[in-house]
A and B are shown apart, each in its own frame.
Chain A
């Protein structure tokens, strides 16, 4: 099948090539980056207009893995929407899951016990570490440093093993329920978590030593793709990319959710918003996340169970479903999605791996959302890419793309 869109962009660029005359007689050229290019780490296409090695103009085409999650969500009971959220930013799916549960709980007005909130914080911070770890190590790979990536990737495996202990899945976790977790964390979970907390900080410093002050890496990153704070704000940047530009906006401190106000941590900010600053902010955020997890482990209440006491929304234990009529009724009602839901609208957001991950939910009181909109941070800030790569070298564009941590699943939803 032909690709009329790409063709239209190319026609526009061809016109520009025809009109423009370089002094030395050279011509501009068109380069297609993507949709499936190993250096873009996802399915999105960039049609670039090149003057030799420099980028004159760029146009993005997205939507290659659009799965219409918002439409699907209008036809699914609330508990069936978590698997959809997994597949947005699949590098940190537990944050998406928790963000969704927090939205539902906000609508239903469910109070969450402190212990569950702390467990959620641990899970979310682990996911954030996993997200930043991938982004930064892949940034190394894109600039030619494979070692750090190979070394640190073991630890993402350990993070996934913890997720696996908690919920049974690794990448698309579908973790949690309305009101808490589906089961209490096993001894193995705590053991793995403690082991991770013991080993990972040293490994992270080792990774840092491999990459951060590496001359080649610094030359490749410093002053590449800078963005000013004003530009970043008007483009809707949030998360590490915004903080790299020097704005200390973080939802964990601006509007704390899930008891983030109980923890001491810093919000690292950069100065110029270039690739190196984005890298440094993520590097430091991982350390802050470790700090949060350590505090959560220390402060973890013994009492409080692993879910809120909300029989209307939380599935009863299986043994009771088989032996107790009331439990069976609740089980049936919840599985069929027949839970009491108020009418109204809520907007709830969490600090995702890439920024403000928002859920705007319109409920008409029925078993499915009337309208659910995902505010996907990637989708919003990726539109700045054209402006950021203009005048850059092609190889810099790759670094900018990976330092922005653009996730195709989150762009397309």
Chain B
């Protein structure tokens, strides 16, 4: 008997009750929001419960929501996949701004290792119990977490696009740079 979305959601809501709610934003997959301290338990349950057997961690990534309340500034999004019944689920856990941390999933899926490092690298989310949590794509000396929304890609009003930075003397001091062009 193949697993259906309804059965899946029923099973996990029965087990987690108050700590879980439906994610209304999802347009495709069954999606839930779980309290961050229960996330590891939920994913372990989804993996080990024979009737669910989500054997594959498809994806793990972070997101930053600066407009949310302080306790829900960061989100971690997990995509799990049950290959036998071909059912996917999206699990979201919100983390606070002060000390965004969550349990590592490395003990459940080895694939989580680098994905968590990537998420740490971009968002500064701490994964408790991760065997080797350090930056992966950016250089180690970097101090900021660049995917956070407070870092704009390029400031439209930037003033540092200045001739001096290109080894040329500014033509006059009074005229703003963009009027010279």
Contacts and interface: CB of A to CB of B under 8 A. Distances in A.
Are the chains A and B members of one assembly?
yes
Interface of A: 4-5, 62-63, 66, 68, 70-72, 74-75, 106-107, 231, 233-236, 247, 249, 254-255, 342-349, 356, 358, 360, 362, 370-371, 373, 375, 379-384, 412-413
B45 interface: no
Contact of A236 (B57, B147, B152, B154): B57
B28 A347 contact: yes
Interface string B24-57: 0111110100000000000000000000000111
Contacts of B137: 62-63, 66, 412-413
B28 A375 contact: no
Which are the 9 A-B pairs with shortest beta-carbon distances? A236-B111, A63-B137, A344-B27, A373-B61, A66-B137, A75-B153, A375-B59, A371-B63, A383-B114
A75 B110 CA distance: 32
Contacts of A247: 83
Interface in B1-41: 23, 25-29, 31
A346 B83 CA distance: 19
Contact of A360 (B79, B114, B140, B153): B79
Contacts of A255: 86
A92 B88 CA distance: 26
Interface string B89-130: 010000000000000000001110111001000100000000
A235 B77 CA distance: 18
Most A CB within 10 A of own CB, among B79, B113, B136: B136
B160 interface: no
A contact patch SS? mixed
Interface in B139-181: 139-141, 146-147, 151-154
B contact patch SS? loop
Nearest to B63: A371
A360 B139 CA distance: 25
Given A62-B137, A236-B58, A343-B25, 20 more contacts: A5-B139, A63-B136, A66-B137, A66-B138, A71-B147, A106-B27, A231-B110, A236-B57, A236-B110, A254-B83, A254-B86, A344-B26, A347-B90, A349-B58, A360-B79, A362-B25, A362-B63, A373-B59, A375-B59, A380-B114
15 contacts: A5-B139, A63-B138, A75-B154, A106-B27, A235-B111, A236-B57, A236-B111, A249-B83, A344-B26, A345-B26, A347-B79, A347-B88, A358-B58, A373-B77, A383-B110
Interface of B: 23, 25-29, 31, 55-59, 61, 63-64, 77, 79, 83, 86, 88, 90, 109-111, 113-115, 118, 122, 136-141, 146-147, 151-154
B140 A235 contact: no
Most A CB within 10 A of own CB, among B26, B59, B64: B59
Nearest to A413: B137
A128 B31 CA distance: 32
A19 to B, nearest CB: 20
Given A70-B147, A254-B86, A360-B77, A383 B27 contact: no
B140 A68 contact: no
Contacts of B141: 4
A349 B63 CA distance: 19
A236 B114 CA distance: 11
A4 B140 contact: yes
B31 A380 contact: no
A30 B120 CA distance: 29
Contacts of B59: 347, 358, 360, 373, 375
A62 B121 CA distance: 13
Contacts of B63: 362, 370-371
Given A345-B25, A362-B63, A235 B110 contact: yes
B153 A71 contact: yes
A107 B28 CA distance: 9
Nearest to B114: A383
Contacts of A343: 25
A88 to B, nearest CB: 13
Given A4-B141, A373-B59, A234 B111 contact: yes
Given A63-B136, A71-B153, A345-B26, A375 B110 contact: no
Most B CB within 10 A of own CB, among A4, A247, A383: A383
Contacts of A346: 27-28
A380 B146 contact: no
B85 to A, nearest CB: 11
A68 B154 CA distance: 13
Most A CB within 10 A of own CB, among B77, B109, B110, B154: B110
